[in-house]
Structure formats: structure tokens, C-alpha cells
Structure 1
Amino acid sequence: MANYIHVPEGAPTVPKLDVTVDEKDYRTGALKLIKELRPNWKPSEVKMKSFTDGITNKLIGCYMGGVMEEVVLVRIYGHKTELFVDRENEVKSFRVLQAHRCAPQLYCTFNNGLCYEFLQGTALEPEHIRSPGIFRLIAPQLAKYHAIHAHNGWVPQSDLWFKMGKYFSLVPTHFKDPAQNLRLSREVPSTLSLQEEMLWLKQSLSGLGSPVVLCHNDLLCKNIIYGQTGGNVKFIDYEYAGYNYQAYDIGNHFNEFAGLSDVDYSLYPERALQLEWLKIYLEAFKEHKGQPRHVSDTEVEVLYVQVNRFALASHFFWGLWALIQAQYSTIDFDFLGYAVLRFNQYFKMKPEVMALNFPE
């Protein structure tokens, strides 16, 4: 599916450095990268800070002096993440977004990661993304992403079902740890049940008429950086970026209102907030597409139904992802528990969203 992402001509090339960085003892490898990227920095004076928010990769900030002004981020890919993340596609997405001023500068790739510019600002929390002052910035920024043409004349197709099928094939059927194994058999739906749901999702959602656009696909709070000085938001981390249904990207973001470390689905945005968010989004999307900004109530209602139904696919997708991570990841996070949360919410939400009706 990577060939659907077309990097525009004239976009700066990204050097690939033959360096491997050890995730446990990262300083030596990181310094080799800094020597190439910042040759004027004295290795003995380079400071490093490990960021612990991410649950896919390890992220290290390298800088000089007392304050983190100019920072080179070194991201080391998580163990076995190449099984479910298309790294070539990620770099292409990064370059496309950079060309459209939607992403920080990508400095280089290396054998097991990449280096890029650090965006100054605040990584958001669930309480921020539901505040009107912030979500009125997030909605048009996502519309800007969705309006980007990066398919070189192809009719873009969503790779959601392809990815979901791939994830499903990687889901573990048992764990070495007996306690985990017991939880898997007791709390996670059976393989047959998951397969049936996946088929049902494809049949139910593919025909909803949601446009296929360039999506971020992982718009959780920590991937949104609020720049207080400019009063703007930027999105980071494009591992899962690609062509997908517009409504999926928005529904996925709405699911993230619940948070990550202490998940609370009562925080899922209520109808009034969603309708305001979606109207702002559609006005910006139309403007980026060169269309009149006017948005009818019917257009907002249609998107509302599409988004809430595609939120189901988001729960299912990340449920599968978490099961794979529970098998392979070296990051200290209860991935199995997270999978259980996502599947439970999927089954709880399913009758509610399928009862929603499109406007006459």
C-alpha cells in the first residue's frame, strides 16, 4: 500500500545512516547519529533525555546546554514493530507532511529508527482536547491533513481492512505466562468471534460513503503538540499514517478523549461537542478543497453517524494491535489489559452506534 503515498518532487531527500542504536544502552549509538547531524556539538557535552509517554517506541531527546532549545529527537523502533508498522510508508508520509508544513523536519533514518526536529510546545492531555479553545484548533488542522493530495493521480483506497487482516494474522493464540494466558482465554473474544466481527465491520462500514483521505490514524492526546506562543497545534508521529476513511480518523480521535494510561470512556465526547467539532472540521475541509465554506446541518449529521460507526473500527484495530504488543513489546505497559478495554468498549458501543440513523 506504500505506493499510494507519493512524495512531491523537490521534497528534500532524507539520508539513511548505517547506525544501530541499542534501546537499553542508547548513548553510544545516539552520539554516532549526532556526530553526523550536528558535527559542531561536543560529544562529551551532549545531554540526553528519555521520554516515557510512548508505548510503541523509545524516544530520546539530544541537546546541548542547560535548556532544551535545539533538540534532535532519536526514535528507536520498538521490538518487532516492523511486523505491523510499514516503515517505508512512515518515512514517505513524514516527507509529504513536511512538504505541506504539517510536520517537523526529518533529519535522517537509521537502521532501527529515525531522527527528527523537536517541536516546542505542550503534549496534550484528555482534559485539553475537549476544551473548546483547543478542539477548535485540532479540527481544522486535521482537515488540512485530510485535504492533502499525495496519491499522484491514483484513486486512493483505504488500507484499513488490509492492515486489520494483517494484524489479525499476528494475534497470539497463547502466551508463555500462565496468568496472561488465563486472561487471554477468559477476557478476550475468541479468534472465531474476532474474525466474524472483522468481516461484519468491513461489510457494515465500507458502504457508508466516507471519503478516503490522507489520515494520521493515531491522533491520541500525546501526539498533539500545542504551541502556546503561536496559539496553534501540530500533530506528531506518523507511523500509522496513510490513506483511510475520513470518518475513521475522526472517530479514532474521539475515542482518545478517554485517555491512555487511565482509560475512561465516559469522557467520549457527547453529541453537542461532536456536532460543533464536526462543523468546524467540515468548514475547514471545504476551504482547503477550494469549495465554499458553508456547511449544512445534514452534512454534519451524516458525518456524525459515519464517525461514530467508524469509532467501532478504531476500537477493534487497537484491540488487535494491543494483543500483538502484549506478545512482543519490551515497554512496561499492560497491553493485554488495554486490549480487553478496547474490545469491551467495542461491544458496548456497537448497538448504540448502529441505532444511529442518517438524516432523511
Structure 2
Amino acid sequence: MANYIHVPEGAPVVPKLDVTLDEHDYRAGALKLIKTLRPHWKPSEVKMKSFTDGITNKLIGCYVGGSMQDVVLVRVYGNKTELFVDRENEVKSFRVLQAHRCAPRLYCTFNNGLCYEFLQGVALEPEHIRSPAFFRHIARQMAKYHAIHAHNGWVPQSDLWLKMSKFFSLVPTHFEDPEKDQRLNNEVPSAACLRDEMIWLQQNLSKLGSPVVLCHNDLLCKNIIYKQQEGNVKFIDYEYAGYNYQAFDIGNHFNEFAGLNEVDYTLYPGRELQLQWLRAYLEAYKEYKSQGTQVSNTEVEVLYVQVNRFALVSQNWIYLPQSGIVTHFHPSVPCQIKHQTFVFSM
């Protein structure tokens, strides 16, 4: 959600390799990449493990031996994802975060993907992010992202509303398949209704005064890696990283407390847990901004209000491959808008 990402001077150069991977038969293409990135590896000894096969990418781990100490992750972009993912911005964000020690090493890009370092650790589950043993680490790491300075004092702007408008332009008006078309008409509010909701959100949220900072914008549980030996967490996957409202990033993460496959918004964090989380976040944010660590109750309350309003607009996607319908729902926080639905023809 950025309109300008500046890669710091001195950041490592990331080579672009003229290789295209077939997502269904990827070994030959992956070995071409490995030949450049790990020339001492024998092709016959390279093992490959598929980690994900989602709608936005396919992720393959390449390694030799049995310990998986040195793993090259090969991510192949999903079909048509360039319609809603700015791949150039993703690489720039990756490099900025790497320069600030917030991301793994980015080894290279190729025609339809990129290669990067595998972070050893455990991907968290919804029950983990609700635990004080983990959420304080998450709050601190998010604060570190948000405290990264824009280039030369430039004041960043969020293009959240432009991005949402672009999503609307991708919404089909009908499907040729009768069953899909019926689901579209029965389950998805009209385009006019959705645009009215978006306008309402823009009018009410833009005036809340939430700072625009460098955000992750997609802090799913699986994008949080707990590194037990170091006693901290790292975030992965920067497809949507960029400048956005501070409260959006936090509200989006709070929605993840409800789970993904079996969503239960009774698990959306209550006021007491939120206040603990937000205080830990603000203490770290001020520390990273060299503003001390003292946080007032008023500062916590202001952020609490902003976050729970911005939670309404955060993107929690559920993809229904049988119908081509992508939906996301919001928690029942105090607001007249309870849900929004977007549809993509993929």
C-alpha cells in the first residue's frame, strides 16, 4: 500500500535472473536458479520441499543433506496475482526491511518469482498470538517496522483507498457458470452497496489522525515466525508491505485472532488484552523513535479507538475455488458496517 519506497544506499544489489518457472513442473527451473545461487551444490543431490500452494504463490524449499540448515526458498508468483500485488513494490519493501534487519536475505528475483533465505523457526497459530508470551514480541516487531524512517524526511501517504478502488475494478458483474453467478448474486452485496461502504469508511477513518508508517499489511499467523533460540519473532511475506495507516496494520492483525479457516470472532481480542498489547507496542515504538518509553493512558486509549475502527477495512481473505469468490469479514466492533465482500475472477 505504498506510493513510494526508497531502498537505502548501500543495500545489497539483488540480481535478476532470466528464468521462468513452471509452477506445476518447477524442478528444472529451480535447478537453474540454484546453479547460480549455490554453484557448489550438485544438482542430483538437491532436494525440494513444497511449503505452500496458495492463491498468491507457490513456495518451494531447496536444500542438500538432511538437516535443512541452508535452505533457498523459491517463490513462484500465482496466476494473475499481478492484478492486485505490486511485485516491484514487494521487492523494494523486501530490500528496505532487509537493510533494517527485519527480513531474511533476498538472493535474487526471476521472471515470475524471487528467491530468499529460509528463517529457522515455528510459524505461529491463532492460540499463540493470543498469548502474552508471544504477543509482546509481535507488538515489538511491528513497532520496529513502523519506526523505519521515510527517505530524507519525505512524508509518506497511504493509498489504501486507491487500492480498494482498484480491487473494485476487478470485481466481475456476472459469471458464465450459472452456479457461480447465483452465488455471486445471493452472497455478495451489490457494487453500489460496497462502494457506499467504502466511501463511508474513507470519510470516517481518514480523519482519525492515524500516522502513515511502513506497514506489513498482511500479518497472518503463518507470516509470524517464532525464533526460540533468539527469543523473538520475525515477519515474512511482504507482498502487501508499504506505507499505510498505523492503526490498519494493528487492526488487521487483531482480526487474525479469530482464526482463518474456521473464523470465530468471539476470539477477537477484548479490551483488556488489547490495552496490554497496545501499551507494549507504544513503548517499543517510542523507544525505536528515540522518544523514551513512557506511555500515557490517553495515548493507549486513542490508539485503541483508531485500531478498532480500522479493523473494519483490513483484508481478511477467504478464497472459495469452486466459485471464484474471495470474501473477507470483519469483527462485530462498534460500527454500522459488519462485513464486506470482494470477488475476483481467477
**TM-score bracket, shorter-length normalisation:** over 0.9
Aligned to 1:45: 45
- Give the 3 Å change call, closer, same or farther, for CA 306–264 of structure 1 in structure 2: same
Identity of aligned residues (%): 76
Question: Aligned equivalents of 1:202 and 1:352: distance in 2?
Answer: 14
TM-score, normalised to structure 1's length? 0.90
Aligned to 1:123: 123
**Which 4+ stretches in 1 moved above 3 angstroms?**
332-335
- Give the 3 Å change call, closer, same or farther, for CA 145–71 of structure 1 in structure 2: same
The structure with the greater share of residues assigned to strand is: 2
Question: Aligned equivalents of 2:29 and 2:217: distance in 1?
Answer: 30
- Give the 3 Å change call, closer, same or farther, for CA 300–258 of structure 1 in structure 2: same
- Give the 3 Å change call, closer, same or farther, for CA 219–90 of structure 1 in structure 2: same
- Give the 3 Å change call, closer, same or farther, for CA 53–226 of structure 1 in structure 2: farther
Aligned to 1:252: 252
Question: Match of 2:153, SS?
Answer: coil
Aligned to 2:30: 30
Contact 2:52 2:60 in 1 (8 A): no
Matching residue's letter, 2:15 = P
Instruction: Determine whether 1:208 maps to 2:208.
Output: yes
> Is there any run of 5+ residues in structure 2 with no aligned partner, and where?
339-346
Aligned to 1:351: 335
Question: Aligned equivalents of 1:350 and 1:175: distance in 2?
Answer: 35
Aligned to 2:342: none
Q: How does 1:174-185 map to 2 (within 5 A)?
A: 174-185=174-185
Aligned to 2:97: 97
> How many residues are matched?
338
Instruction: Determine whether 1:313 maps to 2:305.
Output: no
> Is there any run of 5+ residues in structure 1 with no aligned partner, and where?
327-331, 355-360
Contact 1:274 1:304 in 2 (8 A): yes
Aligned to 2:156: 156
Aligned to 1:329: none
Q: How does 1:1-360 map to 2 (within 5 A)?
A: 4-52=4-52, 54-314=54-314, 317-318=315-316, 336=325, 339=327, 342-343=328-329, 345=330, 348-349=332-333, 351=335
Matching residue's letter, 2:47 = K
Contact 1:140 1:280 in 2 (8 A): yes
Give the Å deviation of 1:278: 0.1
The structure with the greater share of residues assigned to helix is: 1
- Give the 3 Å change call, closer, same or farther, for CA 246–295 of structure 1 in structure 2: same
Question: Aligned equivalents of 1:251 and 1:199: distance in 2?
Answer: 19
Question: Aligned equivalents of 1:296 and 1:352: distance in 2?
Answer: 30
TM-score, normalised to structure 2's length? 0.93
Give the Å deviation of 1:159: 1.3
Matching residue's letter, 1:351 = C
Contact 1:53 1:222 in 2 (8 A): no
Question: Match of 2:285, SS?
Answer: helix
Contact 2:3 2:157 in 1 (8 A): no
Give the Å deviation of 1:180: 2.1
Backbone CA RMSD of aligned residues: 1.9
Contact 1:216 1:241 in 2 (8 A): yes
Give the Å deviation of 1:265: 1.6
Which deviates further from its counterpart, 174-183 or 273-282? 174-183
Give the Å deviation of 1:261: 2.0
Contact 2:287 2:293 in 1 (8 A): yes
Deviations 1:315-334 (A, max 9, x none): xx446xx6xx66xxxxx688
Matching residue's letter, 2:183 = R
Contact 1:4 1:150 in 2 (8 A): no
